[in-house]
Structure 1
């Protein structure tokens, strides 16, 4: 009789545990949680949201830098004053903080004029004949920063940014190749 009670209690608690696990929402990985809390979601969802907000199609480059990423997240920033609308995409690696690549896209009407920046800039020509501007936010006193390529295409201003700590792995020419993969 005691064995039957023990088996019954064991089955009862296992059933409750399994039912609660089946109905529970999966835990969000700690690395991803702060991004989700500030509005990041899947890149596809963020892209569709920005296309709806801006009432036009938005294309993304086909190529990515040749480094590993464990997460890719996006968010559509819809500024109430229509000054800072932007699609922000983050490619990150949980264990390799330097593996960080961003794509930021804003409507051409809200473009940022990087020409006036005092940073050392280099101009490039894309395959379609349009100009691209390359510069770095890294300073001699800083340990990090981003190498950035800015260009305009199809009514959008694109900023491709890669962590400057991997500039030997992801060069300006590679960012140009990524920009040229945009159709």
Structure 2
């Protein structure tokens, strides 16, 4: 019995040391994780939204609600490519230790929106304001999409298919309904 008690102390110390070292590593990884997004043009959502409002010369209303899964980071950017047809505002929500918790919002003017064919639509929903929303599991390989239009903008809510049991089409509709002009 004495040997077992003596062995427990070093084992607990090793486990405690490991958990501390993992915590330190997570902080370093978080900084590296953030930097990887900043290096490809992402920034804080607020600043990216301001830049996008100025670029498009009108205000983009965002959903108030987010999916009921954990996120550790959010990033935004304006994609301002040649011409106007590919310009869009993007937000990414990520969890550093759980890559399947990945949610994106794309917003662009309706006239340059993502075309959706009938065969790509799994379900159609009606939002509270009467707007039609199309849900698709076929457009993107790893994401389910809810696409709808409000106030001259096309919104595309993208959720990783790996969390589709937690973020159902109905939840995406709730999120879409939280966009207020």
Q: What SS does structure 2 have at the residue aligned with 1:170? A: coil
Matches within 5 A, 1:87-106: 87-106=89-108
RMSD across aligned positions (CA): 2.0
Q: Give structure 1 stretches of 5+ with no counterpart.
A: 1-26
| Residues 120, 139 of structure 2: 8 Å contact kept | no
User: Aligned partners of 1:80, 1:113: CA distance in 2, in Å?
Assistant: 19
- Residue 147 of structure 1 is matched in structure 2 by 144
Runs of 4+, deviation exceeding 2 Å = 117-121
Deviation of the 1:108 alpha carbon? 1.4
| Residues 30, 96 of structure 2: 8 Å contact kept | no
- Report which of the two structures shows the higher radius of gyration computed on alpha carbons: 1
Q: What SS does structure 1 have at the residue aligned with 2:154? A: strand
- Residue 135 of structure 1 is matched in structure 2 by 136
Residue 38 in structure 1 maps to residue 40 in structure 2: yes
Q: How many residues of Structure 1 are paired with residues of Structure 2 in the alignment? A: 153
Q: What SS does structure 2 have at the residue aligned with 1:49? A: helix
Higher helix share: 2
Q: What SS does structure 1 have at the residue aligned with 2:176? A: helix
- TM-score (normalised: structure 1): 0.79
Q: What SS does structure 1 have at the residue aligned with 2:155? A: strand
1:113 to 100, 112, 115: 115
Deviation of the 1:31 alpha carbon? 1.0
Deviations 1:76-105 (A, max 9, x none): 011221111100100000000000000000
- Residue 53 of structure 2 is matched in structure 1 by 51
- Residue 63 of structure 1 is matched in structure 2 by 65
User: Aligned partners of 1:138, 1:92: CA distance in 2, in Å?
Assistant: 21
2:157 to 152, 155, 160: 160
Deviation of the 1:137 alpha carbon? 3.8
